[in-house]
Chains A and B, each alone.
Chain A
Amino acid sequence: MMNILKKAVKAVVSISVLILIWELFVLTGRFEKSLLPSPAVVFTGIAKMIMDGTLFTNLKVSIARFLAGYLAAALAGVAFGLLLGWNKKVWAFIDPVIQVLRPISPIAWFPFIVLWFGIGDAPAVVIIFIAAFFPILLSTVSGVGNVDAIYMKVADNFGIKQPGLLFKIVFPSAFPHIANGLHLALGSAWVFLVAGEMVGAQSGLGFMIIDARNSLRSDLVLAGIIIIGVLGLLLDRLIRLLENRIKRQWGVISEERN
């Protein structure tokens, strides 16, 4: 409890200092107001977005896209990961292809995505899918490859055969790895949610920023950026809690450390 309090105090202090510096820069008066809006103006902007419902409307749309893309990636990544991790020979052929595809920014696919999937919600969802799929796939494959030999021996000894072997031994044993991949994927999917919505959508958090830019409201642009950052942080904390619970249960970390 004390630790949480101390951490919170530190966070408040560092953010306050950041805002203070920001305010000081504005106070020097050397920056055009539209180039660097003051904290007060930006926070008024955030308050206004919350009050008039624009934030909530756009947030709903973004979260729906995010969930669709992320969950699809989680399902596909884990399913393919289990299959490919298990069939090492097949994986040896697939792996080079994955290594080529993985470093490509999902945004680079955008022209094709629009051609193949049209406009509307689909492009953002597909971009989130691409962003989340690879980390989940790779961590699942590595998790399946790292199943402790003793579990396999025990399963062999008790006569556990497929599909029981996969669901009772391999999947749960790989689960801490998979959870780690899901965590990584969440971060990159969140980054590309905004990017996806900036290039191809008419709603959502990313669009909110583009819309503010188009109406030359730098205060609202900055407000949107801050909101996205805070939400991303909250999401990360949420999944980290889940991940730590899993790891403690699995005995990967035995005691809580700080």
Chain B
Amino acid sequence: MFISVSDASREYFFKDKGKTTALHKVNLEIEKGEFICLLGPSGCGKSTLLNLIAGFDKPTSGQVSINGEVVLKPSEDRITIFQNYGLLPWRNVLRNVELGLEAKKIPKKERRRIAEEYIELVGLSAYKNHYPAQLSGGMQQRVALARALAVDPDILLMDEPFGALDAMTRMSMQDEIERLWQEKKKTIIFVTHDIEEAVFLADRIVIMTPSPGRIKSIIKVPLARKRDRTGVDFFKIRDKVFAEFGLKDTVEPDYYL
């Protein structure tokens, strides 16, 4: 298996009030090229799980391994996209995208060429000399995507990446990430609390519940792409997810109007 989370727990210890379990004995297997959504309310440990896979954090017990190797620290093979973009405000778009390439010691000319290629890919060529403060939220997230893709990672880890965007921009960004996923064949693990977002994007939706954070179930989304947000099949899957969270009224009405 490509990514394998086995019995991973993450506990936080406090001096005065014992411990809280952010994640309890989670098992998850992910194949190469899969689009996985971690879905759940706040406090369900979805971001904690993402951080463990990223290597920003270590499990207190159990382990995460990728390609058979245990994850101990972050790596440029798996880049995290944050909700608040994490762009460097003192660098323009071009130089932001070049950041990861600089660390890889790629020569200046080559760096520029790769950066321009990926800025083109996210449709921001006209803005390559702009600074982050001059761009809208959606555009900033595109820059973050270009920066991540430019170092050609195997895995993209996305932590509620569209959470700060308005509903319309969100949908166009969802289309965008699906397109990039199909074009670049990355494995994507995408954290969200938006059920429709998960149904639109995921091959499999990992449903998580809080206290302690754990996986409740995994729902396959066998819909063809590009998915129709208003289609009947889409609603069926969406209803299934609603039911998993106990958000669906199970009482049948006596009559329909």
Contacts and interface: CB of A to CB of B under 8 A. Distances in A.
Interface of A: 150-151, 153-154, 156-161, 164, 168-169, 172-173, 175, 248-251, 254
B181 interface: no
Given A151-B88, A172-B88, A159 B76 contact: yes
B89 A158 contact: no
B84 A157 contact: no
Contact of A156 (B56, B89, B99, B151): B56
Given A157-B74, A158-B79, A168-B99, A254 B90 contact: no
Given A153-B56, A249-B133, A254-B133, A160 B103 contact: yes
A150 B82 contact: yes
A157 B54 contact: yes
B133 A248 contact: yes
Contacts of B80: 153, 157
A151 B79 contact: no
A36 to B, nearest CB: 52
A150 B86 contact: yes
A250 to B, nearest CB: 5
Interface string B65-86: 0000000011110011010101
B132 interface: yes
A120 to B, nearest CB: 41
Contact of A175 (B56, B90, B100, B151): B90
B233 to A, nearest CB: 37
Given A164-B102, A251-B132, A154 B86 contact: yes
**Chain A binding surface, main DSSP class:** helix
Given A158-B103, A159-B75, 4 more contacts: A153-B56, A153-B82, A249-B89, A250-B133
A250 B79 contact: no
Contacts of B82: 150, 153-154
Interface in B93-107: 99-100, 102-104
A160 B56 CA distance: 14
Interface string B43-77: 00000000000101000000000000000011110
A158 B76 contact: yes
Nearest to B80: A157
Contacts of A249: 89-90, 131, 133
5 smallest beta-carbon distances between A and B, as pairs:
A158-B100, A251-B133, A172-B90, A251-B89, A150-B86
A254 B89 CA distance: 11
Contacts of A173: 88, 90
Contacts of A168: 99, 102
A169 to B, nearest CB: 7
A250 B90 CA distance: 6
Nearest to A165: B103
A151 B236 CA distance: 41
B89 to A, nearest CB: 4
Contacts of A156: 56, 73-74
Contacts of A159: 74-76, 100, 103-104
A172 B91 CA distance: 9
23 contacts: A150-B86, A151-B88, A153-B80, A153-B82, A153-B86, A154-B86, A156-B56, A156-B73, A157-B74, A157-B80, A158-B76, A159-B74, A159-B76, A159-B104, A160-B99, A164-B102, A168-B102, A173-B88, A173-B90, A175-B90, A248-B133, A250-B90, A251-B133
